[in-house]
Chain A
Amino acid sequence: MTATRRRQAAWVALLAALVLGAAALPVLLTGRQPDGRPLDPAGTSLDGGAALARLLEAHGVRVVRAKTPDAAVSAAGPFTLLLVTEASFLDRGAAGRLAAAFGDRLVVGSVPYLDVLAPGVRKDGPAHTRSRAPECALREAVRAGSAYTGGTSYVGPPGSTGCYPAGDGHTLVRYTAGGHTVTVLGDASFMTNLRLAEDGNAALALNLAGARPTLVWLTEPDDPVQAAGGADGEARSLGELIPDGVKWAVFQLALAVAVVALWRGRRLGPVVVERLPVAVRASETVEGRGRLYRSRRARDRAALALRAAAADRLAPRLGLPRTATAQEVAVAAAARTGRDPAPVVTLLCGPPPGDDAALVALAAHLDTLERQVRDS
């Protein structure tokens, strides 16, 4: 193998690896099973919420799984608790409708539009997620004891209750406004399948989420983009979701393609033209005539040509002049080979063959006769 070949093989291997990688990457990125949804009542993975949902059902709480904000709003009633997690997909309009819905709200994790969902609560700062003591008078927290909280610490509006303090704020803030009891937690890890069994997590989760007979659990939608688009008038197209940098980069790539086109499009000198001679085989007329015989089944003409050629070749061998008739040639050939004259005469000047098989046989018999005359 030459060096060039080896280099070519290396390039091919590199290209193949790139193609495979490009094909595998999206599969790896999007290959999440339905069971693997985070903070979902059906999610059985480590960050799912199936364990909590099972516990709640065991305590007689109906868990309604809502995939879109609209479904959650229609499922909400006076005796429901709406659970919004960081896995929920919201835009500002949807958050407003959720805030206006019936019932209490439990907002867990870094949920967007917190100012709509929990007006008055503001972020204090990040907080390390760890086991914390309640240090408050909230019954649910006190009975649960220490739990795994953190994420963000909040400062509630006046009259609110704060638990599990971190820094100047609290990682759990509860207040009542407009007839709703709103509870905000900085981190959702305490209610995942992974953490539920630790510390007082399960008790805290049950106490908070099981406060009402029905829990409406807003989960991650199947198709976030579609959910956003179909949610309200503030729908954003795919183009609006793409960052500006990507669009300009595509434009720049188009410019690069144009430059490459200019590079490849400039020929090194003119196209050279040349008058070429015809390339026709001299045998084409003969082949054409053969095909014509075949398509017309011209056995009479074909047999005539074959017989005339055989007679022409036989005449000099038999010592006859070129002008000798086929009859004379046949008689002389029969005499030379010692065959019965009648079939030889029929062979050389009989009627045309009845079908193609007879024509093939005639050609073979003529060959045999020529060979016999030659060998005699």
Chain B
Amino acid sequence: MALTGRAGLLAALAAIVVLLAPEPGLVVLAAALVLFALVAADLLLAGDVRGLRFQRDGDRRVRLGQSAAVGLVVENPGRRRVRGVLRDAWQPSAGAAVRQQALDVPPRERRRLVTTLTPVRRGDRRAVAVTVRAAGPLGLAARQRTFHVPWTVRVLPPFLSRRHLPSRLARLRELDGLHPAMVRGQGTEFDSLREYVVGDDVRSIDWRASARSNDVVVRTWRPERDRRVLIVLDTGRTSAGRVGVAPVPGSGPSGWPRLDWSMDAALLLAALAARAGDRVDFLAYDRAVRAQVAGAPRTELLSSLVNAMAPIEAELVEADAAGMVAAVLSRARRRCLVVLLTDLNAAAMREGLLPVLPSLSSRHMVVVASVADPRVADMAAGRGTPEAVYDAAAAERLRGERREITAVLRRHGVEVVDALPEEVAPALADAYLALKAAGRL
């Protein structure tokens, strides 16, 4: 049950009558009784909310930054009209457009209401409750009831770096067999035999095949295919820090977590590697496996990746590097490319990853990709006042530590990609293409 503003207005108007009436005490009593009777009558005549039936339909997935429409069908099996307001309550970060909607369902009919969601954060956004408040004919009182009508909209990573995909695919095709002068070397495998054309490297002439045919025949080579790429996402505390400017409105002024930028880079790399014919697996790890994708078919790789990534949040614990390496080793029996998306935090790396890195880098090709903080670069450029110079010194010290740890990692044979938030995805894709061209996968 709920009262409305009209009941309050009526009670206030009664005060005027009381002021002018000869027997004010009696009028107060009478007004209270009348109001009570009217409210009771209104409640009796209001539509029956208890019997309402609900059904949902609409979007189950939406990319971050886009809007989803979720329908709610309200069926009124009762004999009285249900008229009032309906609140479809979602979690705040689901970004429901309106707080409440008008509802008017005649008896034995149904109406469909649409809630538009514009989520501001990745993850699963749940519908919490549906509350209906049906007012009586006088509009003095209303019946109210809350229902649980579950629905979940999974907010996927936006994959903003897909705009870099066409240019990287073009580079990949260049590497691929379409390039006529592709010579034999490390990282290539035999593709086919074809007739010699002027300009081909004479070293690639297959004499044995030429002897069998009338023409001079050359062997062609193409980059290796069916290599394995394992993308490992560090979801520990260092991934929670926010950097850069959030590309999606409503995410707050403090930027996007490193984790989201890393996901963006991982998606571009996965899309590229899948097109290049490699097999991509995915693992999210801090102190336990948070998510994994293994052996997904090439055509469904991206959708299963974004689906697996969507609910991951950075945990505020120190990542367990030894456990992560063990998990990687147990999954990657053959040599593969391990792309570790983490932060180049000197202290955390020295204590965690560096001691266990040799066991990983001896068997696999390892790439460490990290999101640099543009704010640190800004601070390092500060000059003029003592405050700015002290900040610049602190920033330079951090960058020095990062350079140092990068050098240590490179000595272990690890490729390091350290780029600003918007550039980390293309930089990682370029590193992958370079490795592929060099046949180091």
Q: Which residues of A contact B (CB under 8 A)?
A: 244-253, 255-256, 259-260, 262-263, 266, 268-270, 272, 274, 276-287, 289-294, 298, 301-303, 305-306, 308-309, 312, 322, 356-357, 359-360, 363-364, 367
Contact = CB atoms under 8 A, between A and B. Distances in A.
Given A245-B19, A290-B393, A360-B389, 9 more contacts: A245-B20, A248-B25, A252-B18, A268-B131, A274-B92, A280-B241, A283-B379, A286-B398, A293-B394
Contacts of B91: 272, 274
Interface string B311-348: 00110100000000000000000000000000100000
B250 to A, nearest CB: 13
A360 B396 contact: no
Contacts of A290: 379, 387, 390-395
Contacts of B20: 245
Interface of B: 2-5, 7-8, 11-12, 14-16, 18-21, 24-25, 27-28, 31-32, 35, 85, 87, 89-93, 100, 121, 128-131, 133, 144, 146, 240-243, 252, 254-255, 257-258, 313-314, 316, 343, 373, 375-376, 379-380, 383-387, 389-400, 403, 407
Nearest to B407: A322
A286 B372 CA distance: 13
16 contacts: A244-B25, A248-B24, A248-B27, A252-B18, A256-B14, A259-B3, A260-B5, A260-B11, A272-B129, A282-B258, A286-B391, A286-B394, A294-B390, A305-B400, A309-B396, A322-B407
Given A245-B18, A269-B89, A301-B393, A309 B380 contact: yes
A292 B400 CA distance: 18
B374 to A, nearest CB: 9
Nearest to B35: A259
B129 A287 contact: no
Given A274-B93, A364-B383, A246 B314 contact: no
Contact of B11 (A259, A280, A306): A259
A250 B19 CA distance: 9
B117 to A, nearest CB: 13
A269 B28 contact: no
Contact of B400 (A249, A250, A283, A308): A308
A266 B394 contact: no
Contact of B390 (A250, A262, A293): A293
B407 A279 contact: no
Contacts of A302: 389-390, 393-394
Contacts of A246: 19
Q: For B18, B243, B254, which residue has the most chain A Cβ atoms within 10 angstroms?
A: B18
Contacts of B28: 248, 251-252, 255
Nearest to A277: B313
Given A268-B87, A360-B389, A282 B373 contact: yes
By DSSP majority rule, is chain A's interface helix, strand, loop, or mixed?
A: helix
By DSSP majority rule, is chain B's interface helix, strand, loop, or mixed?
A: helix
Contact of A294 (B12, B18, B386): B386
A270 B4 CA distance: 18
B100 A268 contact: yes
Nearest to B128: A272
A263 B257 contact: no
A359 B90 contact: no
A320 B286 CA distance: 40
A226 B403 CA distance: 87
A263 B121 contact: no
A284 B398 CA distance: 12
Contacts of B89: 269-270, 272
4 nearest A-B residue pairs (beta carbon): A282-B241, A269-B131, A248-B24, A302-B393
A248 B18 contact: yes
A286 B394 CA distance: 6
A303 B386 CA distance: 12
Contact of B21 (A245, A286, A308): A245
Contact of B8 (A260, A309, A360): A260
B283 to A, nearest CB: 21
Contacts of B131: 268-270
A178 B241 CA distance: 103
Contact of A266 (B3, B32, B242): B3
B90 A309 contact: no
Given A249-B18, A274-B92, A277-B313, A363 B389 contact: yes
A138 to B, nearest CB: 45
B322 to A, nearest CB: 24
A294 B3 CA distance: 60
B32 A255 contact: yes
A123 B401 CA distance: 109
Given A287-B379, A290-B391, A306-B396, A252 B241 contact: no
Nearest to A308: B400
Given A268-B131, A293-B394, A252 B15 contact: yes
